[in-house]
C-alpha cells in the first residue's frame, strides 16, 4: 500500500508529491493526461509567471475576503521560499519589472523539467493517462483510488485536479465530481481570467487597438471592483491583462444579470478640465486630430461617431451640450458586458470546494479523514500576475508537509 496517492500532476500535485517524498513517504501520482504539467507548460504565454514579489499579507488581500485562508500555506512556501526551491533545483528566476517572477530562461519548460526531474530523483511513481473516477472510503477515511479499472489502496489521498478551464490543457470537472461524491460542497463555478464580449458594435472598428494602463470599474451599485492594466479591443469585445483581472468579478454577475455596465478610464491623470484644456490648446486642429494625440485614432473616431459629433469640427465650434457629451465619453468610456468565452477560454476557475470544509493549517478535508486538497480545486482564485501558481505551489507544499 502507498502512503500517498496524488491525483493530478499539475503545479500543486507535483509540489505535494515532492514535499511528501522528501519526508520519506511512498508516493504514487495518477495523471489524466499523457504527461505531467501540461497546463503549467503553457502558463504565462509559455514563460511561466510562477509568483510575484508582494509580501504575504498584500498577496493574500488580492484574493479577496477569503485570502487569509492561505496564510499557513504561505508560511510553508512564500515567494522567497518558492524562488529558493527552484534555485536548489537549478532554475534561476528573475523579476524584470520588479513584481512578476519568471524563470530566467523565460521558458515554462525549465520549471516543468526541474519538477519532473525531482519527482524522478525521489523515486515517485508516476502513471499517466489515468482518469481517476472514484475514491473509496471506509468509515469516513480514504481507503483506495480507482483508475482505469484498477484499485490502488492508499493511506492518504491528495486531490490536486485543478480547475475546469482550458479543457485543451486538461481542465475538467472530474475533481469536483470526485469530491462531491465524498459529500464535499462545491460552490458555483464560473470561468475567470478570460476575454469578455460587449454589446457595443463600435469595438470592431478598434480591433487590436491597445490602451495602456486603463482602469476598469463595474458600474453597478454596491460593486466596488476596479482593475488596472492594459486593454486590447477585439472584434466583439475586450481582452488584455486588465480584462483578465476584472473578468473574475464579472462572470459571476453575468449569471445573475444579462448585461453588466462597465466604465473605462483610458486617459490617465486627465479629468474633464484637463481634457478641455488640451482640446483648446490648438484651436485650428479638428477634434479628431487633438483627441488622437491622447488615444488611438480609430477609437477616437468610433467614440465621436457614437455621440454623433462631426470629427472634422474644431473644439470651439462645438455647442456646450456637445462639449459635455465629448468629455463624458472620453473621460469614462461606457461598455456593456454581455458574455464571456466560457470555460474553454478560462485560465482560472472561480469557485471550488468550500473553504470551511478544509483545515487551512494542513489542507486536510474536514469531511473525510486522510483526504487532502490543494490548488485550484479549492474555492480560491487570484488575479493575473503569478497569484494562482504561487497558491498552487504553496498549498501543495503544505499538503506535503502535513501528510
Ligand atoms: C493558458 C494559461 C496560462 C496561465 N498562466 C498563469 C501564470 O502565468 N501565472 C499563474 O499564476 N497562473 C497562471 N495560470 C493559472 C494556473 O495555471 C493554474 O491556476 C494552476 O496550474 C493550478 O494548479 P493546479 O495544480 O491546481 O491544477 P493544474 O495545474 O491544472 O493541474 C491539475 C492536473 O490534474 C489532472 N487531472 C484532472 N482531473 C483528473 C482526474 N480525474 N484524474 C487524474 N488526473 C486529473 C489534470 O490533467 C492536470 O494535469 C494560467 C492558466 C492557463 C490556462
Q: Which of the listed residues 43, 130, 133, 350 should we mutate to test ligand 1's pocket, taking the one with most ligand atoms within 8 A of CB?
A: 43
Strands annotated E in 53-149: 93-94, 100-103, 125-127, 132-138, 141-147
Q: Per-residue confidence of the chain (403 residues) as pLDDT tens digits?
A: 899 999 999 999 999 999 999 999 999 999 999 999 999 999 999 999 999 999 999 999 999 999 999 999 999 999 999 999 999 999 999 999 999 999 999 999 999 999 999 999 999 999 999 999 999 999 999 999 999 999 999 999 999 999 999 999 999 999 999 999 999 999 999 999 999 999 999 999 999 899 999 999 999 988 878 999 999 999 999 999 999 999 999 999 999 999 999 999 999 989 999 999 999 998 899 999 999 999 999 999 999 999 999 999 999 999 999 999 999 999 999 999 999 999 999 999 999 999 999 999 999 999 999 999 999 999 999 999 999 999 999 999 999 999 9
What does the DSSP assignment read for 307-346? TT--TTS-GGGS-HHHHHHHHHHHHSEEEEEEEE--GGG-
Of all protein residues, whose CA lies closest to atom 20 belonging to ligand 1? 389
Q: What does the alpha-carbon distance between residue 353 and residue 358 come to, in Å, rounded to a whole number?
A: 8
Residue from 137, 53, 74 nearest 363 by CA: 74
The three cell numbers locating residue 366:
474536514
Q: What does the alpha-carbon distance between residue 14 and residue 27 come to, in Å, rounded to a whole number?
A: 11
| Cβ of 29 below 6 Å from ligand 1 | no
Of all protein residues, whose CA lies closest to atom 29 belonging to ligand 1? 10
| Cβ of 82 below 6 Å from ligand 1 | no
Of all protein residues, whose CA lies closest to atom 27 belonging to ligand 1? 162
| Cβ of 381 below 6 Å from ligand 1 | no
Measured in Å, residue 171 CA sits from the centre of ligand 1 at: 7
Measured in Å, residue 375 CA sits from the centre of ligand 1 at: 8
Q: Give the atom of ligand 1 at the shortest distance from the alpha carbon of 166.
A: 53
How does strand 196-198 pair with strand 51-52?
unpaired
Residue from 367, 349, 364, 376 nearest 400 by CA: 364
Boundaries of every domain in the chain: 2-190+346-402, 196-340
Superfamily of domain 2-190+346-402: FAD/NAD(P)-binding domain (3.50.50.60)
Q: Which of the listed residues 161, 171, 352, 387 should we mutate to test ligand 1's pocket, taking the one with most ligand atoms within 8 A of CB?
A: 161
* Cβ-proximal residues to 273 (8 Å cutoff; 6+ apart), any chain: none
Whole-prediction pTM: 0.95
Amino acid at each position: 500500500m502507498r502512503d500517498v496517492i496524488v491525483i493530478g500532476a499539475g503545479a500543486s500535485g507535483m509540489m505535494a508529491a515532492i514535499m511528501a517524498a522528501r519526508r520519506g513517504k511512498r508516493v504514487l501520482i495518477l495523471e489524466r493526461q499523457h504527461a505531467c504539467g501540461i497546463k503549467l507548460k503553457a502558463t504565462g504565454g509559455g514563460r511561466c509567471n510562477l509568483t510575484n514579489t508582494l509580501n504575504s499579507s498584500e498577496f493574500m488581500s488580492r484574493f479577496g475576503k477569503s485570502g487569509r485562508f492561505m496564510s499557513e500555506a504561505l508560511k510553508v512556501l512564500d515567494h522567497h521560499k518558492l524562488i529558493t526551491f527552484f534555485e536548489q533545483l537549478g532554475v534561476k528566476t528573475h523579476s524584470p519589472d520588479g513584481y512578476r517572477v519568471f524563470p530566467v530562461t523565460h521558458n515554462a519548460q525549465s520549471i516543468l523539467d526541474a519538477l519532473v526531474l525531482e519527482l524522478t530523483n525521489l523515486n515517485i511513481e508516476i502513471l499517466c493517462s489515468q482518469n481517476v473516477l472514484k475514491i473509496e472510503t471506509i468509515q469516513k477515511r480514504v481507503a483506495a483510488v480507482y483508475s482505469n479499472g484498477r484499485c490502488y489502496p492508499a493511506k492518504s489521498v491528495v486531490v490536486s485536479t485543478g480547475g475546469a478551464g482550458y479543457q485543451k490543457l486538461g481542465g475538467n470537472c472530474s475533481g469536483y465530481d470526485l469530491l462531491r461524491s465524498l459529500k464535499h460542497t462545491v460552490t458555483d463555478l464560473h470561468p475567470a481570467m478570460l476575454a469578455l464580449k460587449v454589446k457595443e458594435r463600435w469595438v470592431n472598428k478598434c480591433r487590436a487597438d491597445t490602451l495602456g494602463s486603463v482602469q476598469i470599474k463595474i458600474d453597478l451599485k454596491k460593486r466596488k471592483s476596479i482593475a488596472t492594466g492594459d486593454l486590447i479591443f477585439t472584434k466583439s469585445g475586450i481582452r488584455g491583462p486588465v480584462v483578465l483581472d476584472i473578468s473574475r468579478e464579472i462572470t459571476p454577475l453575468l449569471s445573475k444579470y444579462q448585461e453588466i455596465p462597465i466604465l473605462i478610464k483610458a486617459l490617465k491623470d486627465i479629468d474633464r478640465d484637463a481634457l478641455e484644456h488640451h482640446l483648446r490648446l490648438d484651436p485650428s486642429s479638428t477634434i479628431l486630430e487633438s483627441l488622437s494625440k491622447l488615444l488611438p485614432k480609430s477609437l477616437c473616431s468610433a467614440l465621436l461617431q457614437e455621440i454623433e459629433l462631426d470629427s472634422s469640427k474644431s473644439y470651439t465650434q462645438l455647442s456646450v451640450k456637445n462639449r459635455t457629451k465629448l468629455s463624458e465619453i472620453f473621460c469614462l468610456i461606457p461598455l456593456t458586458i454581455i458574455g464571456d468565452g466560457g470555460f474553454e477560454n478560462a485560465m482560472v476557475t472561480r469557485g471550488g470546494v468550500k473553504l470551511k470544509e478544509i483545515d487551512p493549517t494542513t489542507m486536510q478535508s474536514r469531511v473525510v479523514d486522510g483526504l487532502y486538497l490543494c490548488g485550484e480545486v479549492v474555492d480560491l482564485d487570484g488575479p493575473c500576475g503569478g497569484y494562482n501558481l504561487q497558491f498552487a505551489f504553496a498549498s501543495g507544499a503544505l499538503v506535503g508537509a502535513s501528510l
